[in-house]
A = this chain, B = another copy of it.
Amino acid sequence: MEREKTIGFVGFGAMASRMARNLRVAGYGAVVYTPSGRGGSDGDCIVGSARQVGEQADIVIVCVPDDRALNAALYGQDGLLGGMRSGGLLINASSNSPEASVALDQAASALDLTALDAPISGSTPEADAGELVILVGGPEEGVRRAQPIFDIIGRLTIHAGPSGSGSKLKLVINGIMAAGMVALAESVTYGLASGLDHATLLEALSAVPVVSPHHKRKLKNVFAGDISSQFPTRLMHKDIGLLLTAAAGHALSVPLMAAAAQLLSLTRRDHADDDYSASLKVAENLAQTHL
């Protein structure tokens, strides 16, 4: 496949593999490195290092779980940056700290590469449907170049500002998402403890405009016993940790987010790989536990 129609992938989990599927339909090929050794499928060209991805593609999407994985993927002997050709475009779709995004931008610029932080808002259903929202930080020119790809995997691109801005905006959004779930968990737990039944709560909370569509879907799933992962607890727990650290870095007071993080921490104990809406189930269980 011609080089300009090849997208490199470093990290190929639930989100990246779905992006690749939609890109394939649109005529793009993929060259893939999975740090975990898992993932990828017959149609994908799997290579042995992030560096090799960079050697074979001029546009690379990085989608790894956290700062540590990002640093491991980018830097060092076998890192992506060592392989990419001058002029390449690195689209970092990971949810990592703003600091890591800024550091990547600097490292990339020094190598005459363009880096965008482009974390994704949306879970697996939106990834399947090509309905993601892409939150981008980085230079205008890079965003223009990436736009055709963003248009395939997503329904909306928001260019939030210079490098790091996408990562920051992602923390804003995921903070609201996490807090919204914990708010639901605490409220619903009170409702149940007070004698309201599941059906009434589901009917009411599905009907009012003060609950988001996302959280309505989660509530329905959890009440139906479905906590299969669309967005795993361990990643949400990590994201709210990033938000707390970032807010502390700006000397802000965010007591509600700090409280939200605690139920996610408790949820991670037994549901790290389940959907983060398992927190609702955990809150419900806690209300019935003798300690």
Question: Can you report 14 residue pairs joining A to B where beta carbons are below 8 Å apart?
Answer: A169-B204, A172-B190, A175-B190, A179-B180, A183-B257, A183-B260, A186-B256, A186-B257, A193-B252, A194-B250, A237-B248, A253-B265, A256-B256, A267-B291
Residues of A156-205 contacting chain B, CB below 8 A:
156, 158, 160-161, 164-165, 168-169, 171-173, 175-177, 179-180, 182-184, 186-191, 193-197, 200-201, 203-205
Is there an interface contact between A176 and B205, defined as CB atoms closer than 8 Å?
yes
Q: Indicate if A25 sits at the interface (CB-CB under 8 A).
A: no
Is there an interface contact between A210 and B265, defined as CB atoms closer than 8 Å?
no
Give the chain B neighbours of A248 by CB distance below 8 A. 237, 241, 261, 265
Give the chain B neighbours of A246 by CB distance below 8 A. 190, 194
Q: Indicate if A26 sits at the interface (CB-CB under 8 A).
A: no
Q: Please, how many angstroms separate the alpha-carbon atoms of A257 and B247 in the complex? A: 16
Residue of B nearest to A156 (CB): B207
Q: Indicate if A208 sits at the interface (CB-CB under 8 A).
A: yes
Copies of this protein, total: 4
Residues of A240-262 contacting chain B, CB below 8 A:
241, 243-248, 250-262
Q: How many residues of A contact B (CB 8 A)?
A: 84
Q: Indicate if A285 sits at the interface (CB-CB under 8 A).
A: yes
Is there an interface contact between B204 and A133, defined as CB atoms closer than 8 Å?
yes
Given contacts A186-B254, A252-B287, contact A196 B168 (CB under 8 A): yes
Q: Please, how many angstroms separate the alpha-carbon atoms of A269 and B222 in the complex? A: 25
Q: Please, how many angstroms separate the alpha-carbon atoms of A206 and B200 in the complex? A: 29
Residue of B nearest to A268 (CB): B251
Besides A160-B204, A169-B200, A212-B213, 15 other CB < 8 A contacts?
A121-B204, A161-B195, A165-B196, A173-B187, A176-B183, A176-B187, A179-B186, A209-B213, A210-B212, A241-B245, A244-B244, A255-B255, A256-B263, A270-B290, A289-B291
Q: Please, how many angstroms separate the alpha-carbon atoms of A121 and B209 in the complex? A: 9
Is there an interface contact between A98 and B258, defined as CB atoms closer than 8 Å?
no
Is there an interface contact between A179 and B265, defined as CB atoms closer than 8 Å?
no
Is there an interface contact between B133 and A208, defined as CB atoms closer than 8 Å?
yes
Given contacts A259-B259, A265-B252, A266-B251, contact A210 B173 (CB under 8 A): yes
Q: Indicate if A145 sits at the interface (CB-CB under 8 A).
A: no
> Which of B191, B237, B291 is within 8 Å of A269, CB to CB?
B291
Residue of B nearest to A282 (CB): B291
Give the chain B neighbours of A212 by CB distance below 8 A. 180, 209-213, 215
